[in-house]
Structure 1
């Protein structure tokens, strides 16, 4: 749209945007007004191909009538029911459907409203489980470097991204971290799962708990099967299986944070299915409702649930935890409709069938300027750039802006571009994503210092912002 056609922007003074450089955003606002299928419509009526499935959370594509109808009908039938001491039938139906979708044995479901709440809920369940079983000294939690488990206090404590917690003080005590599995020196440009080093890397977890902690004091280890928010970190073969063996040996609960890897992203229902490793607890959210209504879930093994039911005093609240909007009717309706779509369209199989094509397209970027590594698994890829001294993240941010300018939405995190399209993506759209990304990388790199200056992109957006301030 030309600058002669002014865009009416909202008043951007009041909304404090999450994980955003707010002042920078207001100078070049990137706004969507509609979405359908695999595309957003921007505020200036451009079609923007969604290369990120929203924020990893729209696996079935945008604007699904089935979900909208289910939510709308539910709003007109039962908009809300109290979650404490009462409920509604759809909550139990949703739990049954989610349990059936989970790996075998994880069939007791606690509903939350987000991945962050799911992570904190899982940690609390782990701590309370050991206490109810008579082991209150099992009160330490182990996370992983570069891990992301949401933004609540438990999640940032076990999470391994320093920038997510340095502003908020000490956080939780009794937390330790193991090394993350990324080894670019050995595994750069690996296609799929790296072949070597997994068992040795997992054995470092055993060494850490034996030398720094009494294993009998560890409540749980929480890991993502594939670390998404840290920039697509794929674990080596055998790594997760060995972690499972160590946790089993020492009575430590293993939690898989599957907020990103759940619901078909890897070409299977969950990462646990892809790696053939069954944890004790799985957290999920995002794709559970196709991003339509906030909802998360924690699935636990039946024996964990049974311990609470059998060992708590008669008449007691077995788990003093929950949320006002746990299993809100519209979220349950959205989850059931989403699972119906997955069943009807076999989206996991579709993702698996596209993964080789997607992998080839992603690795076509090898050899481009500044590209340090490419990592992929299922329908997700991470392109990592060389670090520019004094300008961390500048290359990725400029590339993100250039892609948006060229009609593709990608995600940047640090010096990494992440691609995770809806599972409804077509091959020609995969080609467009990576061809556009290649052009953007070459354009930014060729411009040198000027290319790293964000103010050189999205000139129309800057004009709109200037008009808004007049």
Structure 2
């Protein structure tokens, strides 16, 4: 395909070279406005980021107030702290959810993954077990796009160019993808036992004394499309990690901070919590670049009893302005009981998707939690056969939806054995029932429009 003239002349290296990007000129509530005057419903919050919608005056005031009344920058490697950073950490961890008691704030989800992996390795050094350097991750997972984060991501197309950089100490087991991987006569319990056995066998094959941690998305995001684990899966995983003293690292960068109806997605899994957790995206609602790593008290205790410090850091780690903005975000979520709205409107969204979208041709599965949902498309509902990758079905649906004023998120490339054609719907926490009806109506129209061109071929 030829390079788009605008992209060719722009001094920004855009991620796609083949189409002119539309310019967003304003935003309000769950909507944003394009330069051509089009009003668009942001039903995906970008990649599940802008959880409070657009143009939040309170957050703008918090940012302005901080810049006028407080310090602009504090280096995390200096002997100083600041009120904004301490306040955000206190809001998140005052109740020590699941034993999580300390936070590291960085800029992106990828940085958070890198920090979590390094923290796990340092923990084992402090414990006198430096040989624990092996990590187990899941196929068709995604934990970030830096080299370190890609090493534990089972995203084949994003890893492809960088195979020579990929670490040899990361091994992959199957995801909990019941829709395609559970046997016809297999119960959820049997499926969990099979996956748990595979995980435990991998630990035993590597030698438990060599395994540092297991990393997984609590609810898989863009690679498998808002995929929750079947009941009992994380209970079994947590028990195996405890049995062999392996750290459980849960990635909630996309699915956490209220997206599934509880502040942490793992709270719905019946486990005590992870040893290390990554958060991001909804943490700062897109107003600032911010992510974080939350760690269990036992991790801090080991570092405190050992070297007495963190062997990791960034120039912009725990940036005061970013933390001040995120503090305002988190206060709004709590004050306005938005997690209750996520649960209630999530139930409404699920019903609408199952009633209006489920019966359509080529719709194979509808899954998610809270306001974090995906629709997976298949050629045939019984065989669950995927569409050819080159067809880029989900991207066509995204394009047709945008023509009618609906912004949703589509498939992000080939991730592994299963080609998962899906679209993600995760509107802001402030969405109303009427807006959900409009979102699903526009989505339905986009799917039907796209299907009309496919019915002659399939």
TM-score normalised by L of structure 1: 0.87
Question: Structure 1: how far apart are the matches of 2:25 and 2:422?
Answer: 27
Q: What is residue 325 of structure 1 aligned with on the other side?
A: 316
Question: Structure 1: how far apart are the matches of 2:194 and 2:343?
Answer: 29
Question: Structure 2: how far apart are the matches of 1:430 and 1:115?
Answer: 28
* 1:424 partner SS: coil
CA contact 1:398–1:451 (8 Å) conserved in 2: no
Q: What is residue 453 of structure 2 aligned with on the other side?
A: 447
CA contact 2:7–2:13 (8 Å) conserved in 1: no
Alignment of 1:225-374 (within 5 A): 225-230=218-223, 231-277=225-271, 278-312=273-307, 318-364=309-355, 365-374=357-366
Question: Structure 1: how far apart are the matches of 2:222 and 2:370?
Answer: 16
Q: Indicate the larger mover: 179-188 or 142-151.
A: 179-188
* 1:297 partner SS: strand
2:85 to 84, 91, 98: 91
Question: Structure 2: how far apart are the matches of 1:393 and 1:117?
Answer: 33
Quote how far apart the aligned CAs of 1:195 are.
Answer: 7.5
1:116 to 110, 114, 117: 110
- The superposition leaves residues 154-208 of structure 1 with CA deviations (integer Å, 9 ceiling, x where unpaired) of 21111111111111133222100110111324779xxxxx787334322321122
Q: What is residue 402 of structure 1 aligned with on the other side?
A: 400
CA contact 1:380–1:420 (8 Å) conserved in 2: yes
Q: What is residue 145 of structure 1 aligned with on the other side?
A: 139
TM-score normalised by L of structure 2: 0.89
Aligned pair count reads 430
Q: What is residue 438 of structure 2 aligned with on the other side?
A: 432
- The superposition leaves residues 396-426 of structure 1 with CA deviations (integer Å, 9 ceiling, x where unpaired) of 1111001000010000014211111111111
1:205 to 178, 199, 204: 199
CA contact 2:178–2:230 (8 Å) conserved in 1: no
Segments of structure 1 that go 5 or more residues without pairing to the other structure are 1-8, 189-193, 453-470
* 1:372 partner SS: strand
Question: Structure 1: how far apart are the matches of 2:189 and 2:343?
Answer: 20
Q: What is residue 375 of structure 1 aligned with on the other side?
A: 367
Alignment of 1:23-42 (within 5 A): 23-26=17-20, 29-42=21-34
Instruction: Decide whether aligned partners of structure 1 residues 409 and 107 sit closer, same or farther in structure 2, where only a CA change above 3 A counts.
Output: same
Q: What is residue 159 of structure 2 aligned with on the other side?
A: 165
Q: What is residue 70 of structure 1 aligned with on the other side?
A: 62
Segments of structure 2 that go 5 or more residues without pairing to the other structure are 1-5, 380-385, 414-420
Question: Structure 1: how far apart are the matches of 2:387 and 2:147?
Answer: 32
Quote how far apart the aligned CAs of 1:150 are.
Answer: 0.7
CA contact 1:59–1:263 (8 Å) conserved in 2: no
* 2:17 partner SS: helix
